[in-house]
Amino acid sequence: MIILKNVCKKFGGKVVLNNISWSFKERMIHGIIGRNGAGKSTFIKCLVGIEKYEGLISIPKNFDKRRIAYLPTEPFFFKRITGREYLKFISNSRKSIRQDFDEVNLFELPLDIYIDSYSTGMKKKLAFTSLLMDEFQIYFLDEPFNGVDMEGRLLIQEILKKLNELGKTVFISSHIVTYLSEVCQEIHYLNNGIFEETIHKENFKEFQENWNSQTINAQISKLNFGPFKEK
Ligand SMILES: Nc1ncnc2c1ncn2[C@@H]1O[C@H](COP(=O)(O)OP(=O)(O)OP(=O)(O)O)[C@@H](O)[C@H]1O
């Protein structure tokens, strides 16, 4: 179990995580859902250990800190390096033995051009690829589907299923219920600084319908388009 006890995170006076006590089973794919600004990225950064917080996050002792994979929402890339150089850099920094980057290039990215000329989705795919070069115990993926095309999304989903079969623990944040429903075993709803509920697979459909009606339909109904008038 990954256990949080009274976890709080503030930025200045703004409370983002408000005394969260929650637990997550190992060897599962957990979805973290919440609206823009709900605190998903902050929550993931606290778990990864790159953001300070108050309270306690207990990760099982058998988890090796070096075996934690993290995909940020907006991955950072140095200027003027190619995709291949990036993978080599990451591989060296992890003291990984991998040198054949074409083998892990599942998204068929143009590895020999500058990353500066990659699209948003390609950058995300490259950062994701860097996580496939080594084996990790736990994966924290912040918005892995952002900007990624449908084919790429399906590939990521299949990779996640594979990781789950291998007994890995995976956290994925998103504000798109459909994407999470397709891969997660549990979805945790972050709202107003706390986890309001855990949704289990059998209830995903109902949650999705409620989510859509709250987030989309309610807003759309506010649009007061009048009838089109001919001049
Ligand atoms: N470094 C920071 N300094 C100040 N405020 C921050 C910082 N990082 C995040 N915040 C604030 O914390 C809140 C939660 O942000 P966070 O990025 O965690 O939300 P999110 O759920 O991931 O949002 P989104 O879905 O838009 O990516 C927001 O109000 C944001 O402005």
How close is the Cα of 172 to the center of ligand 1, in Å? 16
Residue 162 CA to ligand 1 center (angstroms) comes to 31
13 lines ligand 1 (CB under 6 A): no
- What confidence score (pLDDT) does residue 229 get? 65
Q: How far is the CA of 9 from the centre of ligand 1 (A)?
A: 11
Could you tell me the two tokens for 131? 């996580």
CB 227, CB 61: distance < 8 Å? no
| CA atoms within 13 A of residue 216's CA, in its CB half-sphere | 9
Q: Report the distance separating Cα 86 and Cα 77, nearest Å.
A: 8
* Ligand 1 atom closest to 143 (CA): 27
20 lines ligand 1 (CB under 6 A): no
Give how far Cα 25 sits from Cα of 43, 118, 152, 167, 187, Å. Answer: 16, 37, 27, 11, 12
pLDDT at 226: 67
d(CA 220, CA 217): 5
- Ligand 1 centre from 186 Cα, in Å? 23
Q: What tokens does 129 get?
A: 């690829």
**Average pLDDT for runs of 10 along the chain of length 231:** 94 93 94 92 94 91 80 92 94 82 93 95 96 92 94 94 94 91 94 93 90 73 69 63
Task: Give the helix/strand (H/E) hosting 85.
Answer: helix 83-93
ipTM comes to 0.96
Residues 6+ apart with CB under 8 A from 141: 69, 71, 128, 170, 171, 172, 173
Q: Give the distance (Å) from ligand 1 centre to CA of residue 40.
A: 8
Gyration radius of the chain's alpha carbons: 19
Residue 198 and residue 190: Cα distance in Å, rounded?
9
Cβ of residue 36 lying under 6 Å from some atom of ligand 1: yes
> Does ligand 1 have an atom closer than 6 angstroms to the CB of 46?
no
Q: How many angstroms separate the alpha carbon of residue 59 from the centre of ligand 1? A: 23
For the chain, domains (ranges, CATH) are: 2-214 (3.40.50.300)
pLDDT at residue number 100:
84
84 lines ligand 1 (CB under 6 A): no
Distance (Å, whole) CA 229 – CA 231? 6
Q: How far apart are CA 44 and CA 22, in angstroms?
A: 14
pLDDT value of position 230: 67
| pLDDT for position 159 | 95
Whole-angstrom Cα distance, residue 134 to residue 61?
Answer: 21
d(CA 7, CA 57): 7
- Give the per-residue pLDDT at 183: 92
